Amino acid sequence: ASTTHQQMNAEQLHVAGIGEELIRLSIGIEAAEDIIGDLGQALRFSQKA
């Protein structure tokens, strides 16, 4: 795996069009229903934080 935008400064992120609202997903070969369910659960949990 490689890093994407973690090592970029604020100006580089802006130029690349990467905002704070970006969510990067790395998924495997699980069933689509499992991935969608897990993502929904994570997003609901993040809204409570």
Q: Copy the structure tokens of residue 13.
A: 């992120």
Residue whose entry in the numeric block shows the structure tokens 């992120």: 13
* Residue 40 vs residue 7, higher pLDDT: 40
Is the pLDDT at 49 greater than 80, yes or no? no
DSSP characters for 1-49? ----STT--HHHHHHHT--TT-------SS-HHHHHHHHHHHHHHHHH-
Is the pLDDT at 1 greater than 50, yes or no? no
d(CA 39, CA 28): 13
The reported pLDDT for the residue numbered 21 is: 83
Mean pLDDT, the chain, integer:
85
Average pLDDT over residues 7-35: 87
Enter the pTM of the model: 0.51
The reported pLDDT for the residue numbered 33 is: 95
